[in-house]
Amino acid sequence: MKLIDDLGDLRGKRVLVRSDLNVPLDGPEGDKRITDDGRIRASVPTIRRLVDAGARVVVTAHLGRPEGAPDPAYTLAPVATRLGELLGQDVAFATDTVGESASVTVAGLADGQVAVLENVRFNAGETSKDDAERGAFADQLAELADAFVSDGFGVVHRKQASVYDVAQRLPSAMGGLVAAEIDVLRRLTEDPDRPYAVVLGGSKVSDKLGVIDALLGKADRLLIGGGMVFTFLKAQGHEVGKSLLEEDQLDICREYLRRAEEAGVDLVLPTDVVVAPEFKADSPPTVVPADRIPADQLGLDIGPESGKAFAAALADARTVFWNGPMGVFEFDAFSAGTRAVAQALVDADGLTVVGGGDSAAAVRRLGFDENAFGHISTGGGASLEYLEGKPLPGIDVLS
Ligand code: 3PG
Ligand code: MG
């Protein structure tokens, strides 16, 4: 796999960098504020390195999931501004991705200058399932550059033009962020120090099936919280009131419960739950046993007893991977479970990895020092797919 150094002397060369700048934004159109700039900060070292090498750096990235056409709600303009602040230099912004504005902006770059192209998903070719359509768009992107650096770890599981096809059209290399992320994930899959504990949360079981399946043979302990846990509790025969429930996943949850027992994997579920009548920040919270959720309430966090039990199950772990919040951490009254797990990772010895967008944003929002964790991944879906053992198109194309 080629690294940036393998691309040779980059002075004066136009280098297209695919970064993952998909950050959460808040506020009205035209005045959007970035609520967590972690992914932009994580993208800076590779961009700065190219700047220092004298390259003319052209950054391409997506924001959200626009429908393949320009949509002002998803403009990357505020992200380009923030990138400039973090880099400490002006960043030019092209108002399209491969059109007139992009050509003029790229042509205007001097050595060591940086431009950001408008949201790559404003072009239908980017996410097209049709190889020819994607390829035609990748041809246009490739015309803007002499070399390509793949540094958007959060999108390497997507077979998209700016991730996959463009790498087939230009001399390409892996950026520092992607290299660092892959390095950590490899340590989780190849002979991890034991006990190896995995904490999974987030709202949907259906998003986590593959990873649970893969981990049942590998992890020593599997802790489950978040919205997805109610499908497990229901599968155990408990009533879950108005909590999130994926009826169509009950059978598979039952099968996983059975397989965990067979494989001797310690499957840890909450024994108490924080419930409230409504999904609202000020809905009055009550703690109830996990097998006695009232019919008119929904679970919004794991309870305090469970928080302690989860922390205890992580205390002597030598490797921990965590993906997905334990509750609705955005609401203070339902953030304690997520906080307890984050603190347990901080306290654990050994390799601790926070996987992905929501959990990474959660630890920062809850005020934890990022350096207290072994690694905070910038990719949720990408790191889960890696752990599942699925091929990652954006990585495979580089070798
Ligand atoms: C993410 O936020 O998960 C990544 O940026 C990828 O975005 P996507 O899930 O819309 O492809
Ligand atoms: Mg995603």
Tens-binned pLDDT, residue by residue, of the chain (399 aa): 899 999 999 999 999 999 999 999 999 988 899 999 999 999 999 999 999 999 999 999 999 999 999 999 999 999 999 999 999 999 999 999 999 999 999 999 999 999 999 999 999 999 999 999 999 999 999 999 999 999 999 999 999 999 999 999 999 999 999 999 999 999 999 999 999 999 999 998 888 989 999 999 899 999 999 999 999 999 999 999 999 999 999 999 999 999 999 999 999 999 999 999 999 999 999 999 999 999 999 999 999 999 999 999 999 999 999 999 999 999 999 999 999 999 999 999 999 999 977 888 899 999 999 999 999 999 999 999 999 999 999 999 999
Q: What is the pLDDT of residue 206?
A: 87
pLDDT of residue 262: 94
Instruction: Check if 30 is active-site.
Output: no
Strands 91-94, 56-60: parallel, antiparallel or unpaired by DSSP? unpaired
Measure 373 CA to ligand 2 centroid, in angstroms. Answer: 22
Contact 324, 202 (CB under 8 A): yes
> Using CA positions, which residue lies closest to atom 2 of ligand 1?
22
* Whole-number Å distance between alpha carbons of 35 and 351: 28
Q: Indicate which residue of 218, 259, 381, 390 is catalytic.
A: 381
Length of the chain: 399
CA dist., res. 91 & res. 243, Å (int): 46
- Measured between alpha carbons, how far is residue 158 from residues 15, 382, 385, 392 in Å? 21, 8, 10, 7
154 is catalytic: no
155 Cβ closer than 6 Å to some ligand 1 atom: yes
pLDDT at 361 (0 to 100): 86
Three-state SS letters, the chain: CCEHHHHCCCCCCEEEEECCCCCCEECCCCCCEECCCHHHHHHHHHHHHHHHCCCEEEEECCCCCCCCCCCHHHCCHHHHHHHHHHHCCCEEEECCCCCHHHHHHHHCCCCCCEEEECCHHHCHHHHCCCHHHHHHHHHHHHCCCCEEEECCHHHCCCCCCCCCHHHHCCCEEECHHHHHHHHHHHHHHCCCCCCEEEEECCCCCCCCHHHHHHHCCCCCEEEECCCCHHHHHHHCCCCCCCCCCCHHHHHHHHHHHHHHHHHCCEEECCCEEEEECCCCCCCCCEEEECCCCCCCCEEEEECHHHHHHHHHHHHCCCEEEEECCCCCCCCHHHCHHHHHHHHHHHHCCCEEEECCHHHHHHHHHCCCCHHHCCEECCCHHHHHHHHHCCCCHHHHCCC
Who's near 394: CB < 8 A, 6+ residues apart? 18, 150, 152, 155, 156, 157, 158, 159, 163, 164, 167, 178
Do 83 and 116 form a contact (C-beta atoms < 8 A)? yes
Encode 47-71 in three state secondary structure: HHHHHHCCCEEEEECCCCCCCCCCC
Q: Is the peptide bond before 195 cis (omega within 30 degrees of 0)?
A: yes
Cα distance between residue 143 and residue 106, in whole Å: 11
**CB of 340 closer than 8 Å to CB of 225:** no
Question: Which of 40, 119, 155 to probe ligand 1 with, by most ligand atoms within 8 A of CB?
Answer: 155
Q: Kindly report the protein residue whose alpha carbon is nearest to atom 6 of ligand 1.
A: 155
Q: Candidates 158, 162, 178: which one to mutate for ligand 1, based on the most atoms within 8 Å of Cβ?
A: 158
pLDDT at 124: 98
Instruction: Give nearest CA residue, ligand 1 atom 1.
Output: 154
Note the pLDDT of residue 357: 73
Of 8, 10, 40, 7, nearest to 23 (Cα)? 40
Dihedral sign for Cα atoms in the order 30, 33, 39, 40: positive
The pLDDT assigned to 358 comes to 81
Instruction: Provide the β-strand partners of residue 25.
Output: 34
Tokens linked to 297: 């309430």
The pLDDT, as a whole number, for residue 187 is: 93
Separation of alpha carbons 273 and 9, rounded Å: 58
pLDDT attached to residue 19: 98
Q: How far apart are the first and last CA of the chain?
A: 5
